A = this chain, B = another copy of it.
Amino acid sequence: MKTKAIFYHAGCPVCVDAEQGLANSLDQEKYEVEMVHLGEQSGRIGEAESSGVQSVPALVIGDNTYHINFGAAINDLK
């Protein structure tokens, strides 16, 4: 079974770069990667915060949350 990974972003340049260069580089055989644009799907901000996401872009893999560089604070997306 694949491990679930969620890439949270807000369409910012730093986000797009991380999506193309890092999120898309994960092993697709092992990880099922979902891309979530928190600017367009604000209903999922709570879920992201519950996973410990404080800024975007961020990648949640299983129980681990990785903030990748810095595009925008999650509070600024509310």
Contacts and interface: CB of A to CB of B under 8 A. Distances in A.
A64 B21 contact: yes
Nearest to A5: B25
Q: How many copies are assembled?
A: 2
A69 interface: yes
Interface residues of A, number: 20
Interface string A1-33: 000010000000000011001100111111100
Given A18-B66, A21-B66, 19 more contacts: A5-B25, A21-B62, A21-B64, A22-B59, A22-B61, A22-B64, A22-B66, A25-B26, A25-B27, A25-B31, A25-B61, A26-B27, A27-B27, A27-B28, A66-B68, A66-B69, A67-B68, A67-B69, A68-B68
